[in-house]
Structure 1
Amino acid sequence: MLGLLILGLIAAVVVFFVGSKSKDAQPSAASEAAGTSTVTLTQQPSTTKVTRTEVETEVDEASVDPCSQDVIEAQTWNFERFAVNDCQNGWMVGGTPQTDAIGLYQWNGEKWQRYEADGETFTGFDCYDFKSLRDQGAPEVILEQVGECKTRSFPIHLTPEQPSCDGRNVLIVESVIVHPGEDADKEIAQALGRHSGAKFTSPGQCSSLRAEAEGGKVYPVYYDFGRDASAMCQRKAEIGGNGRTLNNSADFSDPCE
């Protein structure tokens, strides 16, 4: 009997300690759960970091200098070689050097785009509406490098020369042939634009100058060397052309040959 009582007491003690152990374990599990929640919350700074990176990227894009060499070289130009004449405040003048392929460009925030001309001058070059360009913020230094569209006229400096047919030496660098219906003003002006400082005269001004060819009138574009045949021939050796004396003997010979 006594043995049974002792066994009962031992069983009660064991049950008591096991129950206490289970209760003590519950807070630990709760703590572990709470610990998992804390780990999830620590991921929030990662989201904040991503947002900050995106802002920095936007700032970097906004700080790009369109006129920098790297940006310009990254463009896809339809030229064998592209050179910048001037670049300021989102406006640029550039193209292939020593050609007519020089144009006006505007930065659109991502790349350079060709600014379409508003018209054409009587010499055949692109021209622009300066008021519109100024309204868009184009700098004056840029405007100085492009042509302004104006009323078409025949400038006084294009009035034909009337040289004497006295045997003077001239180097003809271009003969402008104008056919019926063609714009003589434009053709002559373009030729003069290709030969800085040259003059032109009327067809057949002297008998040593052709008046007509290929069904059109011939306007000679020339440099006048007066009596200095040596200087004329030296210039011919440098730039080409046809040497001629202005005479009324229908002498078309070249003094340099």
Structure 2
Amino acid sequence: MKVRVLLAAAILALPVAAQINNKGPEAPKGLPAPRTPDGHIDFSGVYYGPGYGPSDPPIRGGDTIARNITRGMKPEDVPLLPSAAELMRQRQAQNSKDDPEGLCLPMGTPRRDPYPWKIVQTPKLLLILFEGNVHSYRQVFLDGRPHDPDVVDTWWGDSIGTWDGDTLVIDTVGMNDKAWLDLLGHPRTEKAHIIERYTRPELGRINMEITIDDPGAYSRPWKVYESSQLAPGWEILEYICTENNRDVQHLVGK
């Protein structure tokens, strides 16, 4: 297993070129995506990334570690309500000191961090395991159940997966208003409805189309695209956020 030492705060501060070069092994190009015995695309594996962007697939580079979920988008394409824009301005004025991830709280759907992440897929359940953050995980139920009305005010929400051909469609509701969409503080509220469309066009890559429908913060639904690369031979490692977060009293803004 390749030894990796990643310090989230340091990585976030690295120049763009350093961020791009800090990546793992690559899978051979052009190999087909694997399939499960029942014929569906198998998304299982460890991935690194992601890269966000307004195109499909996103252009690599720039804010590739979810600093800015709207990277490359025009301001008019991000339909912030005035109240949400003001909240975001306040967060940035305070140097994002209240970012939940900086306080060892979950990222929440659909935010990513620079650490590797792993998918474990079974016929009825898909698990997404995160190395960083607080070693969180997401459950995506594939057994045909409806949303659970009792799942409300949660970090990750209630996620139901269905198949549209070779595309896995993940529908998530029941989230809280505590999570941020990125380091810049794009808000998410309890009214959020997130739809993710996962595709695996080849062995070494996953593409995701993410629709954010959140009338509590945005005037209309909007989309971003994400791409993550397979990391052959990697496993996610132990990472204990609170052991590394040793100077919380100085995590303050202006």
The structure whose Rg is larger is 1
Same fold (TM over 0.5): no
TM-score w.r.t. structure 2 length? 0.18
Q: Which has the higher strand share?
A: 2
Question: TM-score when scaled to structure 1?
Answer: 0.18
